[in-house]
Structure 1
Amino acid sequence: MISVTQDIERSRYTATVEGVLCVLDYHLQGTIMTITHTGVPSQVGGRGIAAELTRHALESARSNGWKVRPLCSYAEVYMRRHPEYDDLRA
């Protein structure tokens, strides 16, 4: 189980796995959330951490009525593979 938290002051979602910080950075302007970076260090990669960070960000956007602009390549691919988030595209 991956625990994701939102750090509103730093505009990021974080998960710490085995002491390693993993992040999804975003920028919020009005009601547009721009996802700029997803970072999961290689020592904890391949466990679905980036997917969980992205899912949390998208669900947060949905619950807040925001649209999403995925500038991060990972977030873009995630959204393409999960059409249930098509309605969030800015």
Structure 2
Amino acid sequence: MSDTKAITIEDNGSKGRYVYRADGHEAEMTFSRVGTSQIIIDHTGVPDAFRGQGVGVALVTRAVEDARASGIKIRPLCPFAAAQFRRHPEWHDVLVDR
């Protein structure tokens, strides 16, 4: 799955999630806002029905795209998201400086 346009975002201001739905299943990546300049990715959940299809990576990719577009940084506390940032050095421009 590489089409990040199929992913929707639910944002209530301080918390939110990226969601992919298909065939009665739902994958999500949740985040919390830190002020106006940063989000913390805290959880990624992908049901077995989507395993091996790249849905988790697509969720993180969409967050990276959105962060670039809005000029914010990402702190990936979720182990899956953190692993994806290690695998994708081209995303480090939106990574919170440690």
Q: TM-score range by the shorter chain?
A: over 0.9
- Aligned match of 1:75 in 81, 87, 90? 81
Deviation at 1:17, TM superposition (A): 2.2
Q: Which residue of 2 aligns with 1:37?
A: 43
Deviates more, 1:71-80 or 1:1-10: 1-10
Structure 2: gaps (5+ residues): none
Q: Give the counterpart letter for 1:64 in structure 2.
A: S
Distance in structure 1 (CA, Å) of the matches to 2:50 and 2:91: 26
- Please give the TM-score of this superposition, normalised by the length of structure 2: 0.85
Which SS does the other structure have where 1:14 is aligned? strand
Q: Which string of whole-angstrom CA distances, capped at 9 and with x for unpartnered residues, describes residues 23-51 of structure 1?
A: 00000112111000000011221110000
User: RMSD in angstroms over aligned alpha carbons?
Assistant: 1.3
What is the TM-score with the length of structure 1 in the denominator?
0.92
How many residues end up aligned between the 2 structures? Answer: 90
Moved over 2 A (4+): none
1:1-20 mapped onto 2 (5 Å cutoff): 2=3, 3-9=6-12, 11-20=16-25
Identity among equivalent positions (%) equals 36
Aligned to 2:29: 24
Tell me, in whole angstroms, the C-alpha distance in 1 between the residues paired with 2:49 and 2:65.
27
